[in-house]
Amino acid sequence: MREKVLHLKNVVKKFGGRTVVDIKDITFGTHGIEGLIGPNGAGKTTLISLITHKIGMDQGQILYYKNNKEIDISKKRLDEIARLGLVRTNQIIQDFASLSIRESLLLSLATSKDEQFYKIFNEKKFRKAAEQEINEYLEFFHFENPDGHALSAGEKKLLDIIRCMLLKPKFLLMDEPTSGLAQDQTDRVIEMMKTKTANNEMSILIVEHDLDLIWKVSENVFFMAEGEILIQGAPDEIRKNKTVISKYMGENYAQNK
Amino acid sequence: MTFSLFTSTALVLGLLEAAPLVLAAIGFTLIFRLNGFTNVAYAENITLGAYFAVIFNSMFGWNFYAAIIPSALLSGLFSVLTYLVIFRPAFKRGVGKTELIILSVGLSFFVRYGSRLIFGNDLFNFTFDNPSYLSAFGIGITSIQITCIALVVVISLGIYFFIYRTNYGERMRALADNENLAMISGINPTKVSILIWFIAGAAGGLAGVFYGAFSFVSPSLGYNLILIIIMVTIVGGVGSVRGSLAASIGVGIITSAVTLLSKPLYGQVVLLILFIGILKLRKVRI
Amino acid sequence: MEQLLSGYVIYSLAFLLIFISLATLLHLQFSLAGIVNFGVVGFWGLGMYSFSLLLVKGKVPFVLAVILACMITGIVSWILGRIILNLDDQAVLVGTLAFATIIEYLSTSEKWLTNGVMGLGTVNFPFNFGKKSLLVYSLILLVFTVLLMLYTYKLKKSPYGRLLLSISDNEKLSQSLGKSTFRQKNIFFTFTCALIGFFGAMAAPLYSFIFPRMIGSGVTFTIWIALMLGGRKRLFGGLIGVIATIGLFDYVIETVIPIPTQYAEIVPNIKFCVYGLMLILVLMFRPFGILGDKKMEIVK
């Protein structure tokens, strides 16, 4: 068990009168990798968007813990939260049309010191310093043409993940990162997740529909339905939990198991 | 100038400013609501409406009020023409919203300077038969101005009634809200769009005619007003006829008040500064 | 005749340099940072008038007047940027257009300051080399234009250039990577608008007397059509576009085709009419300029 990273209190979000997210009191980050599962429409992606403030919550408080400090991020902007080390990958594919794969990664690594309107001669030096780290990722994931653009959905998803990893986040929220990926790439993502969370520098919360992956990789699993997190526990417990089975996996599944 | 004289002057002048603005705003907001972009070329709709009326009034010698009818029809046709020849093909080619506005600016320049080539750079005035001079709240006002304001009221009510109380109007609103749903319900998007653009064009043309009647007709008539029209649309709410009405009157009164207190250009400057402020407040999202 | 022609040629080239620089600055704002600035002439005019007022009425030395004019333009654009740069594209377009209109109106109405339509002058070159003054001044303009293009070239290949591109491609995604997008847009907008003001100041001695009618929306429109025509994504898009529009219309046609005076009035009308048509055609059929887009062709 580790120190908690996020603490959500009474977080509520409504869309047109319908309550989409309603979290009373939940703590994330006490394990290296935690899973978040639930049926479609449970509010998982919305919850992640609320945490990173891509959308605003109607009420509630989100506390973030870093370097033994408690930071209230309820009102902080998207970019401020990302700079604090709280980063998310996207469920729906997002990319920069003008940037090649390598350029996208260089963007991720650049800090505000590197990015000033009067600094136009620092490119060579910057690239050299970033070379090793970027090449490691490019080789690990077998990118064939890193100076071209990401063309397939799979490539774009991987690019999204690597961009986030390069930020060296303290807490990474992954929203269905392996959907659309071939099995070999999925395995590489899992391997990377395990390596990066081995020390206490990073924790991950992964949202997935691929339950085998969740059981394989998570130390703790949260089950969400109809906007609320109903249960959490070790993978074995959650698998066998009657509520989870009935609300998510269906009667058939239970009988077959 | 006493305060009561000031208020009544501002009110009367304000109404004169607002009347044509109401029609222009109604037409503009219809297109904005339907197609989701700011059609800067609408300015030329307004200007051409005034020129069409000048042709019938000065060249053919028609009575001013009679000249309004062909002007409205021709303006509507012009609007539909721009839709069919330029904007609809542009939509189909996938031209983005921002590019569409830039394109409409191009169209505006094309028509405006084309008008200058055809009509010349000069100003025109309408000829009226024997206007009578009256007084309202101590301010001089002509019978023409009163009749024009009355006409604006009638036409605005007519458009309002058409949009909110008839079948056609319902189809127009349905199409504006959700094109896919409307198509499934059996509404022909092309026909209804043409109808909307026609009404918007006619309203704009009429606004031009009344502007010209209250002052004079110049090639830049519409273009000078387009920013204010956009502002009125945003303040009144995109697609809201009632909102446009209220906002127009407000704008008219502010302009007159400021002009009375200082210089004519200051009225415009104050409005433009307010415009930038309103953009911020309303955070227009299309 | 020969001398007259060569003086006129240098004069035309000097103006072309000014407009090429404006088009390049617009390229930076629109193609790189995604800012739809339809008020270019507002910043240009503000720079021009501030400089001229400082020089003529304030008796401020030339170089200092230029620097102050840049600063004034920068401060005003900073304020405008803070208000409108976090709104959507359409709002930025009409907001900047409204701003430029305000500047145009104020230059006419504030007669006590600007002399209104009577004109402000005389704005002279900062030195006197007799007949060669214009040539020397034009060479100075050339140096600045080339520096600007070098900056643009280098910027595109730098971390900051990538940041700007990311903001205009997908601002939310850029924010999610920790980038302060609003702040950077504002800083870059201020910097480039100050430069627009700079070229406004530098243009004043070429006109020697400045009038409000010089800073109307036609200028903004011309720069836009030049950029769209020349290719909005190309480094030399502004250059190509300006030569193809202003170079062609204002200089080649006027020199080569002697227009009889009775028709002289309609030439600007024909010009803008054609510009309008060209803009429509370019946006519909060749959105990346007359030379097309390299990337798009490969993808096809």
Contacts of C35 (CB under 8 A, 6+ apart): C29, C85, C92, C168, C185, C189
The total number of structural domains in chain C stands at: 1
Give residue C225's identity as a one-letter amino acid code.
Answer: I
Chain C interface test: which of B42, B110, B263 (most C C-beta within 10 Å):
B110
On average, the pLDDT of chain C sits at: 89
Region for residue A16 given its phi and psi (left: phi exceeds 0; alpha: psi -120 to 50; beta: otherwise)? left
CB–CB of A121 and C178 under 8 A?
A: no
Q: Check CB contact of C248 with chain B, cutoff 8 Å.
A: no
Instruction: Please choose, from the candidates A182, A205, A173, the residue with its C-alpha nearest in 3D space to the C-alpha of residue A82.
Output: A173
Residue-wise pLDDT tens digits, A87-120: 999 989 999 999 999 999 999 999 999 999 999 9
Domain ranges of chain A: 6-93+168-256, 96-149
End-to-end C-alpha distance for chain C, whole angstroms: 53
Q: Is A199 helix (H, G, I), strand (E, B) or coil?
A: coil
Is the Cα dihedral B50, B54, B60, B61 positive or negative? positive
Name the residue among A207, A175, A208, A34 with its Cα closest to residue A93.
A175
Q: Is the CB of residue A115 less than 8 Å away from at least one CB of chain C?
A: yes
Q: Are the C-beta atoms of residues C209 and C121 closer than 8 Å to each other?
A: yes
State the pLDDT at residue C78: 97
Among all chains, which residue has been given the structure tokens 């709240």?
Answer: B137
- Give Cβ neighbours of residue C168 (< 8 Å, ≥ 6 apart): A98, C31, C32, C33, C34, C35
Domain extent, residue C51, equals: 2-214
CB contacts < 8 A, B to C, total: 134
pTM of the model: 0.91
**Which residues 263-282 in chain C show a CB within 8 A of chain B?**
265-266, 268-273, 275-280
Taking only the tens place, the pLDDT of each residue in C55-99 is: 999 999 999 999 999 999 999 999 999 999 989 888 899 999 999
Whether residue A120 and residue C172 make contact (CB cut-off 8 A), yes or no, is no
Chain C contact for B97 (CB, 8 A cutoff): yes
Average pLDDT, chain A: 90
Q: Is C121 in the B-facing interface, judged by CB distances under 8 Å?
A: no
Put simply, the answer to whether C160 touches A54 (Cβ < 8 Å) is no
CA distances from B200 to B203, B241, B255, C12 (A): 5, 12, 25, 44
* pLDDT given at position C259: 66
CA A133 – CA A140 distance, rounded (Å): 11
CA–CA separation, A201 vs A211, rounded Å?
26
The reported pLDDT for the residue numbered B35 is 85
Chain C positions in Cβ-Cβ contact with residue B116 (cut-off 8 Å): 266, 269, 273
Residue among A240, A228, A257 nearest A19 (CA) = A228
Determine, for residues C280 and B103 on separate chains, whether the beta-carbon distance falls below 8 Å: yes
Which pLDDT score, from 0 to 100, does residue C293 have?
A: 65
- The reported pLDDT for the residue numbered B63 is 84
From B7's Cα to the closest Cα of chain C, the distance in A is: 25
Query: Is C221 at the interface with chain B, CB within 8 A?
Result: yes
Residue B234 falls in which region: left (phi positive, over 0), alpha (psi -120 to 50) or beta: alpha
Chain C residues with CB under 8 Å of A82 CB are 175-178
Query: C283 in a domain, yes or no?
Result: no
Does A99 lie at the interface with C, CB-CB under 8 angstroms?
yes
What's the pLDDT score for residue C85?
Answer: 93
- How close A202 gets to chain C, by Cα (Å)? 17
Nearest CA in chain B to C220: B105
More confident residue, A56 or B189: A56
- Check C169 against A96: CB less than 8 A apart: yes
Q: In this structure, are residues B28 and B229 in contact, taking their beta carbons and an 8 Å threshold? A: yes
> What pLDDT is attached to residue C276?
94
CA angle, C216 then C217 then C223, to 5°: 115
**Contacts by B168-177, CB closer than 8 A, 24 or more apart:** B168/B192, B168/B195, B172/B30, B172/B34, B172/B196, B175/B34, B176/B33, B176/B34, B176/B239
C147 within some domain: yes
- Residue of chain A with shortest Cα separation from C188: A117
Q: Nearest by CB to C177, from A107, A114, A122: name it.
A: A107
- The set of chains that have 3 or more CB pairs under 8 A with C is A, B
Q: Which of A115, B20, B230 is nearest to C38 (CA)?
A: B230
Which positions in chain A touch C168 (Cβ < 8 Å)?
98
CA distance B240 to B160: 10
Report pLDDT for B283. Answer: 67
Task: Quickly state the pLDDT bin for A239 (edges 50, 70, 90).
Answer: confident
pLDDT the model gives residue B105 = 94
C135 touches chain A (CB under 8 A): no
- How many helices (H) and strands (E) would you count in chain B? 12, 2
Note the pLDDT of residue B286: 33
Residues of chain C in contact with residue A164, where contact means CB-CB under 8 angstroms, are 177
**Residue C50 burial (CB count, 10 A):** 24
Band of pLDDT at residue A255, cut at 50, 70 and 90: very low
Question: Dihedral of CA B3/B9/B11/B17: which sign?
Answer: negative
How confident is the model over A142-171, as pLDDT tens digits?
Answer: 888 889 998 888 899 999 999 999 999 999
Interface residue of C30, C155, C162 to substitute, partner A, most A CBs within 10 Å: C162
Token pair belonging to B245: 């009405």
State which residue of chain B sits closest to C89, comparing Cα positions: B98
How close C54 gets to chain B, by Cα (Å)? Answer: 24
**pLDDT tens for each residue of chain B, 286 residues long:** 677 777 878 888 888 888 899 899 989 988 888 888 899 999 999 999 999 999 998 888 888 888 899 999 999 999 999 999 999 999 888 888 889 999 999 999 999 999 999 988 888 888 877 777 777 666 777 888 888 888 888 888 888 888 888 877 787 778 777 777 777 777 778 888 898 899 999 999 999 999 998 888 999 999 999 999 998 888 887 777 788 888 888 888 888 888 888 877 888 888 899 889 888 887 644 3
Class of domain A6-93+168-256: alpha beta
**Helix count (H) and strand count (E) of chain A?**
10, 10
| Residue (of B47, B175, B22) closest to B107 by Cα position | B47
B15 vs B68: CA distance, rounded Å: 20
Of C88, C95, C277, the CB nearest to B110: C277
Distance CA A217, CA A201 (A): 18
- Find the CB nearest B227 among C91, C98, C269: C98
- The per-residue pLDDT for B138 is 66
In B20-146, where do the E strands start and end? 133-136, 139-142
Instruction: Provide the residue type at C261 as one letter.
Output: T
Structure confidence at residue A257 (pLDDT): 44
Residue C160 is nearest to which of A77, A82, A116, comparing CB atoms?
A116
Q: Cα separation of C21 and A59, whole Å?
A: 50
Q: pLDDT tens across C104-157, in order?
A: 999 998 888 888 888 888 898 998 888 888 999 999 999 999 999 999 999 999
Residue ranges covered by each domain of chain B: 22-220
Contact B107 C276 (CB under 8 A): yes
Torsion of CA C131, C136, C141, C142, to 10 degrees: 120
Gap from A210 CA to chain C (nearest CA, Å): 25
* pLDDT exceeds 80 at position C295: no
Verify whether the Cβ–Cβ distance C159 to A115 is below 8 Å.
yes
Answer whether B284 sits within 8 Å of C87, measured CB to CB. yes
**Beta carbons of A122 and C159 less than 8 Å apart:** yes
Flag if A126 and C191 touch (Cβ within 8 Å): no
Tens of pLDDT along C175-201?
Answer: 999 999 999 999 999 999 999 999 999
Interface check C287 vs B, CB under 8 A: yes
Question: What pLDDT does residue C294 have?
Answer: 55
For residue A252, the model assigns a pLDDT of 43
- Closest-CA residue to B128 (of B59, B57, B69, B68): B57
What is the per-residue pLDDT across A23-43, written as a single tens digit (0 to 9) for each?
Answer: 999 999 999 999 999 998 889
- Using an 8 Å CB-CB cutoff, list chain B residues near C91: 279, 283-284
